[in-house]
Amino acid sequence: MANGKVRYIERQEADRVRDFFNSMKDDFEPSLDRWPKGIEPYLSRSLDNGRVAVYEQNGEILAATMYWLENGDARASFTAVAKDQRTTPILYTLLEEVIKREDRKIGKVRTRVNSNNTKVKRLLQTLGFKLTKAIRGEVSSDRISEYYEADFSDIKKFFTENE
């Protein structure tokens, strides 16, 4: 992991990110192939009005996240880590770099998580995110979506004070 790097993806590289997420389609609930348009609307919106960041090593994407800005707030949509890297701190490293590099004025950061995804929920809580609502059946009939938000300044402070 030591020689990996975080960088932003350009539109012409969208296929690489799409392939990365689709390689893990069954890790999402429901599977990405059951989402009406897959990740396309989220990827497109992130490339148009946000950012798509990846953690790469030797040209291979090991983690990716995408988000866009909306009315001064950031909406984090999809984030994934390669299966063989999930016990490493790659996601933390990716998020830390994205937060530190973000230079636009952002108020809140909002995201939606499957209620069963305890690892991500624990990370969000560590970063200061608070649960704002839970909705059953929004994505699929048996899934509970939990919405979290945090002040961007608090998240940035977490990463800069823990250097």
DSSP string, 16-50: HHHHHHHHTGGGSSS-GGGSTTTTHHHHHHHHHHE
- How many helices (H) and strands (E) in the chain? 5, 7
Q: pTM for the complete prediction?
A: 0.87
Tokens for 140, please give them: 């699929």
The rounded Cα 1 to chain-centroid distance in angstroms is: 19
pLDDT in tens, the chain (163 residues): 458 999 999 999 999 999 999 999 888 877 888 887 889 999 999 999 889 999 999 999 999 999 999 999 999 989 999 999 988 889 889 999 999 888 888 999 999 998 988 888 998 999 999 999 999 987 777 788 999 999 999 998 888 886 6
pLDDT score at 162: 64
Q: Which is the CATH superfamily of the domain at 5-161?
A: Gcn5-related N-acetyltransferase (GNAT) (3.40.630.30)
* Spans of all domains in the chain: 5-161
- Cβ–Cβ contacts within 10 Å for residue 7, how many? 13
- How far apart CA 124 and CA 122 sit, in angstroms, is 5
- Assigned token pair, 47: 């490339």
